[in-house]
């Protein structure tokens, strides 16, 4: 079996071709098989598709780190040196970070769009449809960090829940797997804090993507005539949200956020604050069922062939959870009540919505009462208005 090369071992051309495969740039893939493209030609085609070139690569004590090309290497190096070569920004839960994680289309899209808007690039030129399995299909060998190491990372980044409750600003640190010893942490407070710190940015990231899509949806619907790219985007979103008959009014209802406090509460309940076998072995934060062969079989289930769905990374579990609540028919009332809150100009309130999740677990109403108790006892609604800090701001705050 041919061994995979580390990023630092790849030639510049191989890095360009790796990005072309990652972003599925068909134009490059077709031409490279029929004729030899020069590096300049490949660069040109990548730029045409708004893919950032691999110019900001550093290699300290990490195997490699990939940064979007409008951030300075000096800033990254300063952070890396600051905590013994561990840089948490786009962290893959280990001191080996995969290029597929660091150059993910969805990860850079928020910041890339801001840069593109400054350059007056037309919407069609910044048009992008993500793959359904974008996060789920990432293949990597993740090194699981210990709780003490994560705490050092959080401390170095000034990532503190008390500060977040006041400022509503969250450091964008993305962790892929939970620490194995989280269940051995004796302090319940410490266990809860590290769990929240891990999943909070993941939840916010998904919500911000949904908000971005929602704004784009309303902008498109407000136009008299739509471009071809906008029509394709609508077609994709209708399919993504499992809507038939091109019902755009239903798309507006489904394409909306899940309250942060509610998502944290459900993840806490389903995993025992990150200590369950499903969370540790399968990155499953929300106990979603599957009948696939590679799912995790619950030990207490005697009859039935259902299993708990496994994910390569925690982020994929969060994304699947949000699609579940936004698409499955049993949560129609949940979505309907959320839409009513929108119509009345009210904030999306987890305590008003939680009662509509009685179908999520077999215990029904008791399940929703437990969620409500978790939200209140842990003051989770303090995080509902939180937002991720732009990566550039985070760099400045740590130099």
pTM given for the model: 0.66
Residue 346 lies in a domain: yes
Q: Are 154 and 38 contained in the same domain?
A: no
Interval 132-154: pLDDT, tens: 444 444 444 467 889 999 999 99
Q: Are 157 and 41 contained in the same domain?
A: no
pLDDT at 348: 95
pLDDT of 29 strictly over 70: no
Exposure string over 13-42, b if 16+ CB within 10 A, otherwise e: eebbbbbbeebebeebeeebeeeebeeeeb
- The domain containing residue 246 runs over which residues? 147-397
DSSP secondary structure, 33-81, as one string: HHS---HHHHHHHHHHTTPPPS--EE-SSSS-EE--TTS-HHHHHHHHH
pLDDT at 8: 54
pLDDT at 9: 63
User: What CATH number is associated with residue 164?
Assistant: 1.10.530.10
Last residue of a domain, which of 54, 84, 99? 54
pLDDT at 292: 62
Last residue of a domain, which of 10, 25, 54? 54
pLDDT of 221 strictly over 80: yes
pLDDT at 6: 53
Q: Which of 12-21, 123-132, 254-263, 384-393 has the lowest mean pLDDT?
A: 123-132
Q: Are 188 and 322 contained in the same domain?
A: yes
Structure tokens at 115: 């840069």
The whole-angstrom distance between residue 277's C-alpha and the CA centroid of its chain comes to: 22
Q: Are 45 and 163 contained in the same domain?
A: no
Q: Are 14 and 155 contained in the same domain?
A: no
Beta bridge pairs of residue 290: 307
Average pLDDT of the segment spanning 345-368: 95
Residue 87 lies in a domain: no
Q: CA–CA separation, 354 vs 334, rounded Å? A: 8
pLDDT at 16: 78
The per-residue pLDDT of the chain, averaged, comes to 76
Average pLDDT of the segment spanning 81-101: 37
Residue 336 lies in a domain: yes
Residue 191 lies in a domain: yes
Alpha helices in the chain (DSSP H): 12-22, 26-34, 39-48, 73-82, 99-102, 105-118, 147-156, 161-167, 188-221, 228-240, 248-254, 260-271, 277-282, 314-327, 332-343, 350-353, 365-377, 391-397
Exposure string over 190-229, b if 16+ CB within 10 A, otherwise e: ebbbbbbbbbbbbbbbbbebbeebbebbeebeeeeeeeeb
pLDDT of 190 strictly over 70: yes
pLDDT at 120: 43
pLDDT at 31: 67
pLDDT of 291 strictly over 80: no
Pair type for strands 289-290 and 307-308: antiparallel
Nearest to 397 by CA among 163, 151, 136: 163
Residue 128 lies in a domain: no
In the chain, the number of structural domains is 2
pLDDT at 36: 67
Residue 4 lies in a domain: yes
Q: Are 25 and 164 contained in the same domain?
A: no
Residue 93 lies in a domain: no
Q: Which of 110-124, 165-179, 258-272, 302-316 has the lowest mean pLDDT?
A: 110-124
């Amino acid at each position: 079996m041919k061994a995979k090369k580390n990023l630092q071992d790849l030639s510049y051309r191989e890095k360009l071709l790796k990005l072309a495969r990652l972003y599925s740039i068909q134009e490059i893939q077709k031409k490279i098989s029929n004729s030899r493209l020069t590096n300049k030609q490949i660069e040109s085609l990548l730029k045409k598709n708004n893919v950032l070139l691999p110019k900001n690569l550093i290699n300290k004590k990490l195997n490699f780190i990939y940064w979007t090309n409008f951030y300075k290497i000096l800033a990254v190096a300063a952070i890396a040196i600051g905590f013994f070569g561990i840089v948490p920004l786009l962290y893959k839960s280990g001191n080996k970070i995969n290029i597929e994680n660091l150059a993910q289309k969805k990860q850079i899209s928020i910041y890339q769009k801001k840069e593109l808007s400054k350059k007056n690039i037309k919407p069609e030129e910044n048009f992008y449809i993500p793959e359904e399995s974008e996060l789920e299909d990432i293949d990597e060998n993740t090194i699981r960090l210990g709780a003490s190491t994560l705490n050092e990372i959080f401390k170095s980044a000034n990532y503190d829940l008390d500060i977040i409750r006041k400022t509503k600003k969250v450091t964008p640190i993305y962790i892929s797997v939970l620490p194995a010893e989280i269940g051995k942490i004796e302090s319940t407070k410490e266990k809860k804090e590290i769990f929240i710190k891990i999943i909070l940015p993941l939840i916010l990231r998904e919500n911000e993507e949904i908000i971005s899509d929602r704004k784009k949806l309303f902008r498109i619907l407000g136009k008299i005539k739509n471009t071809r790219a906008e029509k394709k985007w609508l077609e994709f979103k209708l399919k993504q949200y499992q809507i038939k008959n091109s019902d755009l009014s239903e798309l507006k209802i489904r394409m909306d956020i899940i309250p942060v406090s509610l998502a944290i509460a459900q993840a806490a309940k389903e995993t025992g604050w990150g200590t369950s076998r499903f969370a540790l072995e399968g990155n499953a934060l929300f106990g979603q069922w599957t009948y696939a062969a590679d799912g995790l079989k619950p030990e207490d289930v005697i009859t039935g062939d259902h299993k708990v769905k496994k994910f390569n990374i925690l982020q994929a579990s969060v994304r699947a959870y949000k699609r579940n609540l936004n698409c499955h028919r049993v949560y129609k009332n949940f979505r309907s009540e959320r839409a009513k809150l929108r119509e009345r100009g009210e904030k999306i309130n987890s305590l008003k919505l939680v009662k509509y999740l009685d179908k999520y677990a077999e215990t029904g109403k008791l399940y929703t009462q437990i969620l409500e108790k978790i939200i209140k006892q842990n003051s989770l609604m303090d995080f509902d208005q939180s937002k991720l800090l732009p990566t550039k701001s985070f760099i400045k705050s740590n130099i």
